[in-house]
Amino acid sequence: MPTIKEIKEKNTGPQAVIKTGGKQYRVQVGDTVKIEKLLQDSREEYKVGDSVSFDMVLLKDDGTTLTLGAPTIAG
């Protein structure tokens, strides 16, 4: 398993690990992520290009500071 240092050396730019639907996803700005059964309040599916907010953030790396949740990050 790679260490955090090895992961940081391979990746550039801000990134986060989010949890939704029982799965974890590593995301960066501009990523397109396919998430099963994610619906808007109107019960419609999201379309490519829609903005989505997640409250279960497990890790945040802004390129300078790495923040790990215990279990999640507030805010």
Q: Which residues, other chains included, contact 19 with Cβ-Cβ below 8 Å and sequence gap of 6+?
A: 25, 54, 56, 58, 72
Please tell me whether the overall predicted TM-score, pTM, comes out greater than 0.75 for this model: no
Least confident of 11-15, 24-28, 58-62: 11-15
27-54 pLDDT tens trace: 998 888 888 777 777 777 878 888 888 8
Token pair 């949890």 in the structure block, residue: 19
